């Protein structure tokens, strides 16, 4: 899909939705918190470039961007990767809470903006 000096973006092999892609560094390390600034900057640039491609191809209504760090956060592959998951109106009954849904009973909350 897209390549950089420190990493690349590629379609997820088991996509959660149309256009789901991963950004993966070349250097092997398990945690996002081990990445250096130069690598971090490029990986987030790849997220932005990939999003432009997905916008053009699929026209999603939103995105979830996520990184699992550690077994108890759901990390199943011990190599950093960033999920970029396009979202579409109606793909779930109630999208409120977004990434908070990783802990289902904490997803919905009563937030009142000022």
- Relative to beta strand 2-3, strand 7-11 is antiparallel
Contacts of 114 (CB under 8 A, 6+ apart): none
- List 20, 79, 81, 83, catalytic entry: 81
For residue 90, give Cα distances in angstroms to 5, 56, 61, 87, 95: 37, 20, 10, 9, 9
Rounded to whole angstroms, the Cα distance separating 87 from 60 reads 6
Q: Where are the beta strands (DSSP E) in the chain?
A: 2-3, 7-11, 21-25, 62-66, 82-87
Whether 14 is catalytic is: no
- Active-site residue set: 81
């Amino acid at each position: 899909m897209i390549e950089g000096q420190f990493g690349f973006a590629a379609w997820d092999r088991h996509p959660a939705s149309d256009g789901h892609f991963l950004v993966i560094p070349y250097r092997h390390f398990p945690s996002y918190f081990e990445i250096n600034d130069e690598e971090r900057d490029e990986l987030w640039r790849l997220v932005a470039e990939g999003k432009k491609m997905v916008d053009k191809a699929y026209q999603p209504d939103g995105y979830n961007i996520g990184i699992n760090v550690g077994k108890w956060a759901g990390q199943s592959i011990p190599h950093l990767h960033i999920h970029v998951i396009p979202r579409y109106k109606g793909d779930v009954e109630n999208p409120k809470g977004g990434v908070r849904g990783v802990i289902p009973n904490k997803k919905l909350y009563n937030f009142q903006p000022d």
